[in-house]
Amino acid sequence: NFEKYEKMKAQTYPGDFDLLDVIAHVYQILTRSPHLFSNQYMLKDVYVDEVQDLVPAQIALFKFVCKNLKGFVFAGDTAQTIAHGVGFRFNTVKDIFYHEFVGIDSINCSDHSEFMPSNWQLSENFRTHCGVV
């Protein structure tokens, strides 16, 4: 499907790009030239809400703005996505974190157990009261 989409995009809209093309381009630039993002702009901590609405490539970009591996909080709702047919799993976020941020291929690596993320599941809805839900 993706190859069909890319082919159709190139034929129908030559020279056009979509959001993922932009993300891939930014990722490539920052990977090749990390000095472009100066330390003066580095964040101490990063809190990401609604992480279920981001694609993995967008999540991977956060590594360029914060070097504090213990300074990331990703929050989201596995039952809520903005894209139809997209299944969100926190294990995907964990995999991206370990591969992209920590630089290892497996979350089961005991050498990096200090970066093992914690999961909390909220059982109470704080957004609306029971009369609405």
- pLDDT at 45 (0 to 100): 93
DSSP reduced 3-state for 18: coil
pTM: 0.72
**In this predicted model, what pLDDT tens digit does every residue of 55-96 receive, in sequence order?**
888 999 998 888 888 889 988 877 776 666 566 778 888 888
Q: What share of the chain is helix, strand, coil (3-state, %, to 5)?
A: 45, 5, 50
Cα dist from 124 to 22, 66, 88, 127, 129, whole Å: 37, 31, 20, 9, 10
- pLDDT at 128 (0 to 100): 66
Give phi and psi for 125, each to the nearest 5.
-85, 115
**In this predicted model, what pLDDT tens digit does every residue of 8-63 receive, in sequence order?**
888 888 888 888 889 999 989 988 987 777 777 889 999 999 888 888 889 999 98
